Chain A
């Protein structure tokens, strides 16, 4: 049911639109960062680094509008949860952007391009993470608590993939000690992706909270 005061619906709609748009930007940045890493494309990596500024600005705008909404509309119940969740989700997405930027910043620091196997392995982890982030943004856009729950409960496959990647990198370090410098960068890139997966899970919790007013808890651990 619509609000009697139409401006409330307009404000909430604009806030949700901005959060979902930030989510799309974050997904695009994660995909781009993994792509520039795999192709060892230094100019494109620089573009990814610069593009992070848009996420910072969008996050700040969402926070400003959420605070304004709370102050002017004095919302209750789910109307109150929406600006609170918007601010917290935006913060999580902004952190995803920072981590994608960190990945892109490591690209020019690598002594040489990653091997085909390394690129494929990390790209697969990146694909999983970006897919998860896109799924949780879709659940936010669709006001879909079940969709958010499914993202939340599936986090373990990213952790498993991350551990697999780490094992591969450690094995490569043992086999070729002269490439330890690059391998450490690869470990950080993998860790950054795994952290983005954690943020996607956090967003799933917030989407679920926004819709239902209840917290998710007791997720099965590895």
Chain B
């Protein structure tokens, strides 16, 4: 290539300031959680910024997945599970963990994708449409439009548009995971929860999902739990570090990974955590 090297002027970006109320999609306040007698979360408080990716990191057993699962009340399925405190969904301030709020209503507003792809034993189309049917959508053309939109948002439309009636199990692992993301996106949730969404995928499939997550933040607020520190650094805007059920540090991802203020955070992200 003989073209002269063209170097664009560096764009000067100012970090988005934290915490103006208008940018908060959800606010966790003094959240405690018990699995029966075991207290897994201790007074966790943090904001979830609108249209941003928030990563929750920490060693195994630190409570990060427990915290994520509080957002859509999965714990309600376990006997003895108990919440105190609040996760308020903005702008209305609906407390997602309040006993008076129906968990089904919560799950209509908060989508979730798990560690291993878990497509339903149905066609690709039916997988994505299933959440719409639950919400009472019956108009065929509307459902088709929403399915196509979700598959495009999940960056898998080009790969499946000519085989929508094929079983979802025919897709590769990475494609299945993007299909699950499309399924979660179709009902247009206010929050999308991702619980280690790439831990079962190869590096190429992981890169596609990471790219997708970064793009998704334009449309939806994302909270991701990951063991992969590089992944948290690459794709998130804010990062929360947890240890033994407590939030140790929360801040802009750039700050957390370049100059954390708490020694415990530094020890964890630099591999000194003994």
Contacts and interface: CB of A to CB of B under 8 A. Distances in A.
A80 interface: yes
A28 to B, nearest CB: 34
A77 B270 contact: yes
Given A76-B233, A76-B257, A77-B259, A1 B274 contact: yes
Interface in A1-46: 1-5, 8
Contact of A4 (B233, B258, B260, B273): B273
A163 interface: no
Contacts of A5: 271
Interface residues of A, number: 16
B272 interface: yes
Contact of B270 (A78, A213, A214): A78
A3 B259 contact: no
Given A77-B259, A78-B266, A213-B259, A2 B272 contact: yes
Interface string B255-266: 001111000001
Interface in A128-174: none
A1 B267 contact: yes
Interface in A69-109: 74-81
A214 B273 CA distance: 24
Contacts of B258: 76-77, 80-81, 213
Nearest to B263: A1
A75 B260 CA distance: 13
B259 A79 contact: no
B212 interface: no
Contacts of B272: 1-4
A79 B230 CA distance: 14
A4 B257 contact: no
- Residue among A2, A74, A76, A214 with most chain B CB within 10 A: A76
Contacts of B270: 3, 75-79
Given A1-B274, A3-B270, A4-B272, A77 B260 contact: yes
A4 B271 contact: yes
Contacts of A74: 230
A8 B271 contact: yes
Contacts of A78: 266, 270
A77 B269 contact: yes
Nearest to B270: A79
B229 interface: yes
A2 B274 CA distance: 9
A54 B267 CA distance: 36
B266 to A, nearest CB: 5
A193 B233 CA distance: 43
Contacts of A75: 270
Nearest to A80: B258
A170 to B, nearest CB: 43
B229 A76 contact: yes
A4 B266 contact: no
Contacts of B274: 1-2, 4
Interface string B183-204: 0000000000000000000000
Contacts of B233: 76
A74 B274 CA distance: 19
A143 B260 CA distance: 18
A5 B274 CA distance: 10
24 contacts: A1-B272, A1-B274, A2-B272, A2-B274, A3-B270, A3-B271, A3-B272, A4-B273, A5-B271, A8-B271, A76-B257, A76-B258, A76-B269, A77-B257, A77-B259, A77-B260, A77-B266, A77-B269, A77-B270, A78-B270, A79-B270, A79-B271, A80-B258, A213-B259
Given A77-B269, A80-B258, A214-B259, 4 more contacts: A3-B270, A3-B271, A5-B271, A77-B258
